Structure 1
Amino acid sequence: MRLFFSFLSILLFCSSCAVKKYKDIPFITSTPKELTANIFVPKKKMKLQPVLLFVHGGNWDSGKKETYGFLGRNFAKKGVVTVISEYTLSPQADYKQMTQEVAKSILWIKNNIEDYGGDPQQIYVTGHSAGGHLVALATMDSSYSYGIDKKDIAGIILNDAAGLDMYSYLQKNPPTSENHYLSTWTKNPETWKKASPITYMDATTPRVLMYWGSKSYASIIEANQDFYTKLKAFQPQLKSIVLKKKTRAYGTPIFLALE
């Protein structure tokens, strides 16, 4: 448990470190379109640093890694090697292909990040909204492992994650062509279940830090609360922390973390 929170404490350290950016580093070259990542590292030479993979949101059909350079620079200034990767968006890809691409980015990190000063033994994954769904599924469903053991993931950080229980959501809101949901999820309820990270929760699930805003979408709040309730059976030291502080986007955020 201490290792998980030692990562968070690093965020308060080394705020004056200069940052070096490696732009458009290929991590998948076998698809019709090469997929790349931007990597942000502290310029100051230090021992191998924790690694954070960030996957952007955008309802599975929008968003781009270039938007989040500020995040990469911020974490790198604090001593965290940060990888911001891309993935193929709907309707060119369904959720499964997207998840495979995220999983392959984790594999690439495991095999290559030491060249950038990152510690392959301290890989954390995080994503916002749809990106939260993709990192959770890629690390919780072992069919996407590509040889990466769940023990290789030091922690999953879910930022206002969408899609944690697509099975329940799509039963209430069947997919249509709007937002390319039919392309992303299909009409098959069994596919929705396979697409839901909550389906794969068990004692081997990596440690989780999750947070969402009290003014987020109702479906996100409901799914996160259900995910937290189920997770608590496997990670009993999980606790909720309510910060009584307004944020520009979502109001009062709720943080759930391991002690």
Structure 2
Amino acid sequence: MKYTVLLCLALICLFATGCASKKIKDIAYFKQGETTVPALNVFVPRKRKPEKLPVLIFVHGGNWNTGSKDTYGFLGRNFAKKGVITIIPDYTLSPAASYDGMAHEIAASIQWAKQHIAQYGGDTNRIFITGHSAGGHLAALAVMNPKYGISPKSISGIILNDAAGLDMKHYLEENPPQQSNNYTTTWTTDPDNWHDASPIYFLDKDTPPLLIYVGDKTYGSIKVANQRFLEALKPYQPKVVPIHLNKKHVPMVTQYFWPFNKRYKEIKDFIESH
């Protein structure tokens, strides 16, 4: 009986959030030669307000070799219902792309937002980016590594949700890349590339404000990388305190299925304060 009630409540919430928002799907944002790949989805409130709304780009995770923008429609709908226009891009996965190609594409999705989101009611001066797991890595890297051409001052904030890969140099020095998980393709075997792929080495005074979530039951490598990242961040943003949640890695993102999850308010407050 309890399970039935909870299921009914979840379906009611899903229906309500779907009715309150609109999805514009499969918009091409990155052209490579004659082929246009990949695409993104945009979620907006169904009833447009006269004022421009903040924009949140969500980058999905999946160990850099799996995942799809279409899995996370619930997150886009819920944020749009709460007055945050949400962009969810796909990106080319390993082994078809390395971390560098992926980061270039995420940077291109940010550029697309700057150029086009105003027509959907978004404020180009209030663009935030977030990501879970590998998506957190790519969100941070695309903004923080200057090679990708995104001015950190053009991003109002970065929200990391149990982000992986924040210090790939440290991780790969201890765990050399293996072909079995595509890591020799994703990261190559060149330590210079491992450094280039690690957001931790690009922290500086211009790094956008950070909000950081870490699961207390997540993978050990993610805990270590986040701790190292936070220590390196202290000289620039000493007031940042990570929010620890009693969750494993995957539930850190599936919790967003529930539209009344506290994370939505925390993130909305963070957005409104920046």
Please, what TM-score do these two structures have when normalized by structure 1?
0.86
1:76-110 CA-partner distances (Å, limit 9, x unpaired): 00000000001000000000000000000000101
Counting only pairs closer than 5 Å after superposition, residues 21-100 of structure 1 correspond to structure 2 as 21-30=23-32, 32-46=35-49, 47-100=51-104
**Who is 1:222 aligned against?**
224
**Who is 1:196 aligned against?**
198
Displacement of 1:249: 2.9
Aligned pair count reads 239
Cα distance change on mapping 1:117 and 1:204 into 2, 3 Å: same
1:144-189 CA-partner distances (Å, limit 9, x unpaired): 01xx421110000001100000000000000010210000111111
**Who is 1:149 aligned against?**
151
Displacement of 1:30: 2.6
Distance 2:217 2:78 in 1: 25
**Who is 1:179 aligned against?**
181
Letter in structure 1 aligned against 2:97: A
Displacement of 1:136: 0.4
**Who is 1:160 aligned against?**
162
**Who is 1:207 aligned against?**
209
Distance 2:65 2:82 in 1: 31
Distance 2:59 2:48 in 1: 26
Q: Is the 8 A contact 2:216 2:247 kept in 1?
A: no
Displacement of 1:29: 2.6
Distance 1:246 1:176 in 2: 28
Structure that is richer in helix per residue: 2
Q: Is the 8 A contact 2:102 2:138 kept in 1?
A: yes
Cα distance change on mapping 1:102 and 1:240 into 2, 3 Å: closer
Distance 1:219 1:61 in 2: 18
SS state at 1:210 partner: strand
Residue 239 (str. 1) matches residue 241 (str. 2)? yes
Q: Is the 8 A contact 1:53 1:84 kept in 2?
A: yes
Aligned partner (choices 135, 139, 144) of residue 143 of structure 2? 139
Please, what TM-score do these two structures have when normalized by structure 2?
0.82
Cα distance change on mapping 1:234 and 1:72 into 2, 3 Å: same
Identity of aligned pairs, percent?
Answer: 53
Cα distance change on mapping 1:62 and 1:216 into 2, 3 Å: same
Unaligned runs of 5+ in 2: 1-16, 253-265
**Who is 2:12 aligned against?**
none
Letter in structure 2 aligned against 1:216: T
